[in-house]
Chain A
Amino acid sequence: MKGFWPVFRKELYGMFMSPIFYVVAFFFLLVSGVFFNYILAQVSLVSFQVAQHPELGRDISMMELFLRSFLWNLSIIMLFITPLLTMRLYAEERKSGTIELLFTYPVTDAGALAGKFAACLTTFAVLLAATLPGVIAVTLVAAPPWKLVVCGYAGVLLMGCAFLSLGTFASTLTRNQIISAIITFSVLLVLWFIGEMKTTVSPAMGSFFEYISVSKHFEGLAKGLIDSRDILYYIVFSVFFLFLTLRQMSSYRWRG
């Protein structure tokens, strides 16, 4: 892991110096804020109706309904923003030629990758944390289901980790950042909706589709249910793509 800290610091600094981060952060907070507002309005409408007809909503916790919808929305926005965070990681190094410096410094490929990935994950966590004040403000007026908040946010972070690892791999495939972002986005979108396609294929294939779908594994976490299979899925997903990234790096070295 030689080289983790210098690469981590450099990437983080580079990220906060680049306009991409600020544009992404602005739109992420804007869009998540709009959804936050919309969902809150919807939920308060529902709770108003439930108050009039108590028999309709005996088992529904309004707070849970709100949080679950908000987390799902966050995860959809993530589909769009994570490709933008990872697209530059290796594509830019290759385009500007700085990969030659990185490859000839006494830094292991794994150390550099870990530094880059950790910097991306940190940036993502910062963005995610910026949505917390709104959630906390809501918990001030209603009894907070803390387990759901912690579990849901941890789930979003885990899923983000998986998205970022795919994006990191995609950025090693090309010198062009836009192509890298498009590859990431397309693959993520397919993996997101593939679970819905189970009815169109054979049952065996269908359950496989459901298993590899990134969204199906989020369902439990968004309800506050901790299932080791879901957690393992995201971890294996991330490790798999980070491993592919390392293979890609050494193949890049050999090809020259």
Chain B
Amino acid sequence: MIEAEGLTKFYGSISAINNVSFRIEKGEVVGFLGPNGAGKSTTIRILTCYMPPSSGTARVEGLDVIENSLQIRQKIGYMPETVPLYNDLTVSRFLRFAAGSKGVEAKRMNTEISRVISACGLEKNANRIIRNLSKGFRQRVGLAQALLNDPAVLILDEPTIGLDPSQIIEIRRLIQDLREERTILLSTHILPEVSQLCQRVIIINKGEIVATDSPTNLTSQLQKTVKIVLEVSGPSQEFAQAIENMAGIQKVSVVNNGTSKFVIETDPSMDMRSQIAATAVQKGCGLLELRTMQLSLEDIFMQLVTEEPSEEGAES
């Protein structure tokens, strides 16, 4: 369980996050979304006791990040954003250090290390020096150290960035396997990842939480119109005019000038598809494509993050 209440962090006079509050229940997998510089890593660093907040409180498993820092760190598995690792050490030597630091007893040490090594598919690389590993394997070592000592809370800062597609699928599968009984907070830019893995998303922008909900709820809340994609052959101009005059149609726009593909925005309360198809037949057009377009998480994200007129928050 993770609770944040009114978290604020200043770097000098600049505030990185401002009054951030959220709650993650035990066993939930939550995605933490936001553009670069929105304050994701700052929030995560406060939760992992890397640094204290300027004001506000954060509790992990009911323990306060300032007062019970050591006990919290005992319960958290954390994979930092850039996956920092001790480059001079071999994978197993590094994991031995991490396990020792996390208080794994000597007699459990070897089984614990081989458990995470096989969970992350590092068997063949256990004795290689970390410096020589590829990006994908470094990422796995980062994940392996987070899994040591079976933490109740896993906090992963962009775990799949920089991996190739098959590795991404593997890491996602691994995270899916881990979710039982564990609270997982996953920060990412990759939106399909969130819809696949997370029950809930927290979207942060310019240091403030802009939305907290499940991906499906967010979609339905923000969907002001239903978009229908339509492609016809034949006299498309006439057809377009006819459609525009229909009740319930809010906007008709042509996809790429000169083609006969349209995006039609309709009132969400009524389903216009059969009427549109009938009109097409009436006007003598051939119906090539007709489908409703779902608002993707990308659209929601863009809508929430670029709501303000100024663009200064969109820097990367």
Chain A interface (Cβ within 8 Å of chain B)?
Answer: 2-3, 5-7, 9-10, 13-14, 17-18, 96-108, 253-256
B contact residues around A13 at 8 Å (CB):
89, 93
Complexed CA–CA distance, A65 and B84 (Å): 52
Contact between A2 and B9, CB atoms less than 8 A apart: no
The reply to whether B101 and A3 form a contact with Cβ atoms under 8 Å apart is yes
For B50, what are the chain A residues with a Cβ–Cβ distance below 8 Å?
A: 100, 103-104, 253, 256
Q: List 25 A-B contacts (CB under 8 A).
A: A2-B103, A6-B97, A6-B100, A7-B101, A9-B97, A10-B89, A10-B93, A17-B89, A18-B88, A96-B87, A100-B80, A101-B80, A101-B98, A101-B145, A104-B80, A105-B73, A105-B98, A105-B101, A105-B102, A106-B70, A106-B73, A106-B102, A107-B101, A256-B9, A256-B51
Asked if residues B52 and A254 are in contact (CB atoms below 8 Å), the reply is: yes
What residues of chain B lie closer than 8 Å to A6, measured between beta carbons?
Answer: 96-97, 99-101
Q: How far is the CB of B129 from chain A (nearest CB, A)?
A: 8
A9 touches B100 (CB 8 A): yes
Q: Tell me the number of A-to-B contacts counted with CB atoms below 8 Å.
A: 84
CB pair B102–A97 under 8 Å, yes or no, is no
**A3→B100 CA distance, assembly (Å):** 8
Chain A residues closer than 8 Å to B96, beta-carbon distance:
6, 9
Return the 6 tightest CB-CB contacts between A and B, nearest first: A6-B100, A97-B84, A105-B101, A106-B73, A10-B97, A106-B74
| B178 interface residue (CB < 8 Å to A) | no
A5 to B50, CA, bound (A): 21
Query: In the complex, what residue of chain A is closest to B86 when comparing beta carbons?
Result: A98
Verify B84–A2 contact, CB threshold 8 A: no
Q: Could you say which residues of chain B place their CB within 8 Å of the CB of A18?
A: 88
List of A residues within 8 angstroms of B49 by Cβ: 103-104
Query: What is the minimal beta-carbon distance from B181 to any residue of chain A, in angstroms?
Result: 20
Given the interface pairs A13-B93, A254-B52, A256-B11, the reply to whether A106 lies near B101 with Cβ below 8 Å is: yes
B interface, size bucket: 20 to 34
Residue numbers in B under 8 Å from A255 (CB-CB)? 11, 51
Interface hits, B2-20 → A, CB 8 Å? 9, 11
Decide: B80 and A17 in contact? CB cutoff 8 A: no
Is A100 touching B84 in the complex (CB atoms < 8 A)?
Answer: yes
- Report if A14-B52 is in contact (Cβ < 8 Å); known contacts: A6-B101, A256-B45: no
Which applies to chain B's interface (DSSP): helix, strand, loop or mixed?
mixed
What is the CB-to-nearest-CB distance from B309 to chain A, in angstroms, rounded to a whole number? 31
CB distance from A1 to the nearest CB of B (A): 12
B48: nearest residue on chain A (CB-CB)? A104
Identify whether the interface residues of A are mostly helix, strand, loop, or mixed: helix
Roughly how many angstroms separate A91 CA and B70 CA in the complex, as a whole number? 24
A residues near B51, Cβ cutoff 8 Å: 103, 253-256
Residues of A within 8 A of B11 (CB): 255-256
Known: A6-B101, A256-B45. A104 touches B70 (CB 8 A): no
Chain A residues positioned under 8 Å from B145 (CB to CB)? 101
Chain B residues in 8 Å Cβ range of A97 = 80, 82, 84
Distance A98 CA – B88 CA, assembled complex (angstroms): 12
Min CB gap A217→B, angstroms: 36
- Tell me whether A98 and B97 are in contact in the complex, defined as CB-CB below 8 angstroms, given that A17-B89, A104-B49, A106-B70 are known contacts: no
State how many angstroms separate the Cβ of B79 from the closest Cβ of chain A: 10
Is A14 a contact partner of B102 (Cβ separation < 8 A)? Answer: no
Q: Closest CB-CB distance, B45 to chain A, in whole Å?
A: 7
Q: Does B85 contact A (CB under 8 A)?
A: yes
Chain B residues within 8 Å of A2, by CB: 70, 103
Contact (Cβ within 8 A) B70 A108: yes
A interface footprint on B62-94 (CB within 8 Å = 1, 0 otherwise): 000000001101101010101011111100010
The complex places the Cα of A68 from the Cα of B298 at a distance, in Å, of 75
With A2-B70, A97-B84, A101-B85 given, can you name 15 additional A-B contacts, CB distance below 8 Å?
A6-B99, A10-B93, A13-B89, A14-B88, A14-B89, A100-B84, A101-B98, A101-B145, A104-B50, A104-B76, A105-B73, A106-B101, A254-B51, A254-B52, A255-B51
Q: Which residues of B contact A256 (CB under 8 A)?
A: 9, 11, 42, 45, 50-51
Collect the chain B residues with CB atoms within 8 Å of residue A101's CB. Answer: 80, 84-85, 98, 145
How many whole Å from A88's CB to the nearest CB in chain B? 10
Q: Report the minimal beta-carbon distance from B185 to chain A, rounded to whole angstroms.
A: 14
If A103-B49, A105-B73 touch, whether A98 touches B101 (CB-CB below 8 Å) is no
State in angstroms the CA–CA spacing of A146 and B80 once bound together. 54
Q: Considering the chains assembled together, what is the distance between the CA atoms of A3 and B9 in angstroms?
A: 28
* Min CB–CB distance B24 → chain A (angstroms): 18
Q: How far is the CA of A103 from the CA of B44 in the complex (A)?
A: 13
